[in-house]
A = this chain, B = another copy of it.
Amino acid sequence: MPSFKSSTEITGWPQDVGILAMEVYFPSQYVEQSELETFDGVSQGKYTIGLGQTRMGFCSDREDINSLCLTALSHLMEKTGVGYENIGRLEVGTETIIDKSKSVKTCLMQLFEDSGNTDVEGIDTTNACYGGTAALINAINWVESSSWDGRYAVVVAGDIAVYATGPARPTGGAGAVAMLVGPHAPLIMERGLRGTHMCHVYDFYKPDLSSEYPTVDGKLSIQCYLSALDACYQTFSRKSDSLKESASPPMSLDQLDAVIFHSPFCKLVQKSLARLAFNDFLSTPMDQVSSKYPGLEAFREKKLEDTYFDRDVEKAFMNYSESLFEAKTKPSLCIATQVGNMYTPSVYGGLASFIASNSVENLAGKRVVMFSYGSGLAATMFSLRISEDTGPDSALSNLVASLSDLGVRLEARSKVSPSVFAETMKLRQETHHKAPYAPVGTVEALFPGTWYLTRVDEMHRRQYERRPLTAVYPMSGVAGASTNTVMKEASAMATDMLSHQV
C-alpha cells in the first residue's frame, strides 16, 4: 500500500497536516435573484442588494444528498488521481437527511467497490451547517493520531438548502465539496489555534422530518450567528496571543490575510467582518483608540452583547471595514453569491473561491481564518496557513490550477425562469420521500459526470447512474493537468513503507 508516512511520523504528528486538494460541485441550473425579486413581487434590490445574492443554484428531483456527494467525491478522485485503495478515512458532513439511520458515507462506499477497499473509517456528522467542519477536524485528528496508517482522508460536505415560499426562499442553494486531507498539505491547519462555541438554541432547526424545509427564527438566528462569531474570535484570539512570540502584536484583523465565513447570505458576511473590526476596536488599549479608530471613539461605551441589532454600530464599522472587506473577504464570496447557501459546504466554497481568485504567488505564506457556523448551535474559528512552495509542481500550484475553472463552470450553468424554479420546488415538495418514485427531471441538463437518481423502489431503496464524463466537461482540461500529481508526490514520499501496514 502506498504511504506517505515517514519514519519520524510513526510515533508522533506528521508535518503540515491539512487540505491537499478540493473539488466543488454545484447544480447546473440557477435562477437570477433579480428576476426572483420581480416574480415574488418584492422591492427591487431586496435579494440582490439587501441579501447580497446574485444567482441561486437548485436541484430538480434528479439530485439528492447521495448523488451530490457521489459527484463531488468522483470528481475529486479523478482530478487528483488518488486511487480508492489509498483512502483510509472518509466522512460526510450534511444536514440533508433522507434516512435517519443509514449514512451517506455508506452510499459513497459504492465507489470503492472496484478497489476492494472496505477498511475505511468515518461516518456522517450532523449539526446544521457545521457538519463539514466537524468532519474536517476529525480527519485531521485522525492523521495526527496513532490510528493513522499512512493513507489519505477524504471529507465530503454536501447539502440541498430549500425554503418554503416567503422571505427565506432566496437564501437557498445546493452543492457539495470534497477535500483530500493528509500531511504536506498546501492548506495547513494551524495547531493549537481553534476557538469553538457551542450551546443549546432553537434558532434554525428541522423538527418536521417529513419536510425538506427548516423551522427558522430569523432574528434569533442572526443574533446566534453574530454572538457565536464574537465568542469564537475571543477564544481564538486568546489562544493566538498565548502562542505568539512576545514581540509580535496581539490578535487583530491585521494578523490575518483573509477571513472566510459561513455564508447564509453575503450581506451577513460583510456585517460579520465589520463585527470583527468592532471586536478589535473594543479590545484596543484606550490610549490607542483615537489614532487607530478616528471618529469612532463614542462607540467605546457599547457592549458586544447589546449591539447585535445596533444599526449605528453596524453602519460605523461597515464603513470602517469597507476596504478590509474588499481585500480580506470579498474574494471568498464568488460561489456564495452565485450559488447561494450550500449549508455545510458553504465556508469551503468560500475557501475555494478565495483560492481561485488569487495567483499562487499571492497566496503563498498567507494566513486564512475560517469561521464555520451551524445553527442549534455549533461554531468554530480556525486558521489555515498556506504553504510557501510556489514551484510549478508544488501542491499549492496544483491546488490553484485545479480550482482555476470555477468562474468558467459557474458561467456554463443554465438560467431557468423563476416560474420553472417554483414548479421544480413544488415538485420536490410533493414527491419528497415518495416511494416508489421515478424522477422526472431532465438528465441532459446536468453537467457531464454528474450522478443522478434513477429510481426509488417500493422499499425506499435509491438507485443512481452517472452522466458520461466527456471532454466537454469544463474541468477536464484541469483534470488532465493535475492528474496523479498528488499521487506522484505521495509515492515519492513513500520511502519508508511500514511493515505493519496492511
Does A494 make an interface contact (CB < 8 A)?
A: no
Interfacial chain B residues near A195, Cβ < 8 Å: 119
Interfacial chain B residues near A206, Cβ < 8 Å: 99-102
Mask, A108-138, CB within 8 Å of B = 1, is 1110110000111111111110110010011
Does A140 make an interface contact (CB < 8 A)?
A: yes
Given contacts A106-B378, A243-B500, A459-B215, contact A118 B199 (CB under 8 A): yes
Q: Is the CB of B121 within 8 A of A137?
A: yes
Interfacial chain B residues near A376, Cβ < 8 Å: 101-103, 106
- In the assembled complex, the Cα of A13 lies from the Cα of B143 at a distance in Å of 12
Q: Is the CB of B134 within 8 A of A145?
A: no
Does A391 make an interface contact (CB < 8 A)?
A: no
**Which of B107, B238, B502 is within 8 Å of A200, CB to CB?**
B107
Given contacts A102-B206, A238-B502, contact A196 B120 (CB under 8 A): yes
**Which of B145, B194, B210, B375 is within 8 Å of A102, CB to CB?**
B375
Does A460 make an interface contact (CB < 8 A)?
A: yes
On A, residues with C-beta under 8 Å from B are: 11-13, 95-103, 105-110, 112-113, 118-128, 130-131, 134, 137-138, 140-142, 144-147, 149, 191-192, 194-202, 204-210, 214-215, 217, 231, 235, 238-239, 242-243, 374-378, 380, 433, 435, 459-461, 499-502
- In the assembled complex, the Cα of A110 lies from the Cα of B201 at a distance in Å of 9
Given contacts A101-B375, A207-B433, contact A127 B106 (CB under 8 A): yes
**Which of B137, B197, B201 is within 8 Å of A147, CB to CB?**
B137
Interfacial chain B residues near A97, Cβ < 8 Å: 97, 100-101, 209
Q: Is the CB of A202 within 8 A of B102?
A: yes
Interfacial chain B residues near A105, Cβ < 8 Å: 127, 198, 378
For the complex of A and B, the 6 pairs showing the least CB-CB separation, nearest first, are A207-B460, A102-B376, A209-B209, A103-B127, A100-B206, A144-B145
Given contacts A12-B11, A106-B378, A191-B146, contact A214 B122 (CB under 8 A): no
